[in-house]
Chain A
Amino acid sequence: MNSQAPSRPPLSTADGIKMVRLLGTVSFVCGLLIVITHRGTLSAIGRNQERLTREAVAELLPGMQRQVVYSVHGGELSKGEGSDRLAGKIYAGYDASGKLLGLVMEASERGYADMIKAMYAYSPSKRCITGFKVLEMKETPGLGDKIATDKNFLENFKQLVYDPDHPIVAVKAGAKKNNWEIDAISGATISSRAVGRMLNRSIREMAPLIERNLRRIEKGE
Chain B
Amino acid sequence: MNNQSLGHIFIDALLINNFVLSVFLGICPFIGVSAKLATAWRMGVAVIFVTLVSSLLAYGTNALLVVLNAEYLRIISFIVIIASTVQLVEMFIKKTSPALFRALGIYLPLITTNCAVLGVALFQTSRQYDFAQSVVFAAGASFGFTIALVLMAVIREKLELSDIPDTVRGTALVLLLAGILSLAFMGFSGMGVES
Instruction: Give chain A's interface residues, CB within 8 Å of chain B.
Output: 1-5, 30-31, 34-35, 37-38, 86, 88, 110-115, 140, 189-190, 193-194, 197
Verify B190–A114 contact, CB threshold 8 A: no
Interface majority SS on B: helix, strand, loop or mixed? helix
Given A5-B105, A114-B17: A193 and B195 interface contact (C-beta under 8 Å)? yes
Q: How far is the CB of B192 from chain A (nearest CB, A)?
A: 8
Residue of B nearest to A140 (CB): B189
Verify A113–B72 contact, CB threshold 8 A: no
Residues of A contacting B105 with CB < 8 Å?
A: 5
Q: How far is the CB of A39 from chain B (nearest CB, A)?
A: 9
Verify A190–B16 contact, CB threshold 8 A: no
Total contacting residues, chain B, CB less than 8 A: 22
Residue of B nearest to A1 (CB): B113
B8 CB-CB contact with A under 8 Å: yes
Verify B109–A113 contact, CB threshold 8 A: no
Verify A110–B193 contact, CB threshold 8 A: yes
Q: How far is the CB of A88 from chain B (nearest CB, A)?
A: 8
Verify A112–B189 contact, CB threshold 8 A: yes
Partner of B17, one of A35, A113, A140: A113
B159 CB-CB contact with A under 8 Å: no
Verify B109–A2 contact, CB threshold 8 A: yes
Given A5-B105, A193-B195, A194-B193: A110 and B4 interface contact (C-beta under 8 Å)? yes
CB-defined A-B contacts under 8 Å, sample of 24:
A1-B110, A3-B109, A4-B106, A5-B105, A31-B73, A34-B73, A34-B76, A38-B72, A110-B4, A110-B8, A110-B12, A111-B193, A112-B189, A112-B190, A112-B193, A113-B16, A114-B12, A114-B17, A115-B4, A115-B127, A140-B189, A190-B190, A190-B193, A193-B194
